[in-house]
């Protein structure tokens, strides 16, 4: 896949339910950038995947649970999840996460 | 490397000169998240690297040059650079980029 520029205005959100929406942003086979918006009290259920993941908190407040421990985070904080690591979050104040997966999440591509 | 949580307040910026600072945020060997702050008119000189890169414009306005073509971008816009792709930018309005490299930029680690 070639280099690309993805304008925010061109990407419609996918409604995931429970106050969560997702937009797949720029990506290559090796990595995929995804915006996930949470309403206050929305939950990202604990899950795991073989992809590694880095997450940037763009805005809002969240509590992440990683390996059974809770981490309150806010704007500018970041997390890295090793392959297979179980992770989840609850949104304490409406916000936006930028998740980046390696390799790309093929299951997110229509 | 294991999963990690990196709090923004704990990461000091590295001054790169020319109105640009860099902070290495959460990372794993497979991917590294890096915040780069630009003052207005600061330049990210055209360069290339074997790592693939996704970039999220957190705030500000930039003009990226990719493969000889200019792309004006702003908050929420994203770019993906293939391995070896020459890319650079000029900052038109002070802002912040979140760059994510695959694999990690070992040259950024002290």
**Number of separate domains in chain A:** 1
Give residue-wise pLDDT tens across range A18-65.
Answer: 999 999 999 999 999 999 999 999 999 999 999 999 999 999 999 999
Q: Residue B94 falls within a domain, yes or no?
A: yes
**Contact A87/B52, CB-based, under 8 Å?**
no
Contacts of B83 in chain A (CB under 8 A): 30
Q: What is the DSSP string of chain A?
A: ---EEE-GGG-PPEEEETTEEEEEEEEETTEEEEEEEE-TT-EEEEE--SSEEEEEEEEEEEEEEETTEEEEEETT-EEEE-TT--EEEEEEEEEEEEEEEES--GGG--
Count CB atoms within 10 A of the CB of residue B13.
13
> Does the pLDDT value for residue B39 go beyond 80?
yes
Q: Residue A14 falls within a domain, yes or no?
A: no
Q: Is the ipTM of this complex over 0.85?
A: yes
- pTM given for the model: 0.97
Q: Residue A12 falls within a domain, yes or no?
A: no
Contacts of A31 in chain B (CB under 8 A): 31, 52, 54, 80, 100, 102
CATH number, domain of B89, equals 2.60.120.10
Give residue-wise pLDDT tens across range A62-102.
Answer: 999 998 899 999 999 999 999 999 999 999 999 999 999 99
Q: Residue A6 falls within a domain, yes or no?
A: no
Mean pLDDT of chain B: 97
Count CB atoms within 10 A of the CB of residue B95.
22
Give residue-wise pLDDT tens across range B76-98.
Answer: 999 999 999 999 999 999 999 99
Structural domain span for residue A65: 21-108
Instruction: State the pairing for strand pair B20-28/A78-81.
Output: unpaired
Q: Residue A10 falls within a domain, yes or no?
A: no
**Whether the Cβ atoms of residue A35 and residue A95 lie closer than 8 Å to each other:** no
> Does the pLDDT value for residue A1 go beyond 80?
no
Q: Residue B7 falls within a domain, yes or no?
A: no
């Amino acid at each position: 896949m070639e280099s690309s520029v993805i304008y925010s205005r061109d990407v419609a959100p996918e409604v995931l339910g429970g106050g969560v929406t997702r937009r797949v942003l720029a990506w290559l086979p090796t990595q995929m950038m995804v915006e996930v918006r949470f309403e206050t009290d929305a939950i990202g259920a604990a899950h795991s995947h073989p992809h590694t993941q880095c997450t940037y908190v763009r805005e809002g407040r969240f509590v992440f649970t990683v390996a059974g421990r809770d981490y309150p985070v806010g704007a500018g904080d970041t997390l890295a999840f090793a392959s297979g690591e179980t992770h989840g979050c609850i949104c304490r104040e409406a916000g936006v996460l930028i998740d980046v997966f390696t390799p790309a999440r093929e299951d997110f591509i229509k």
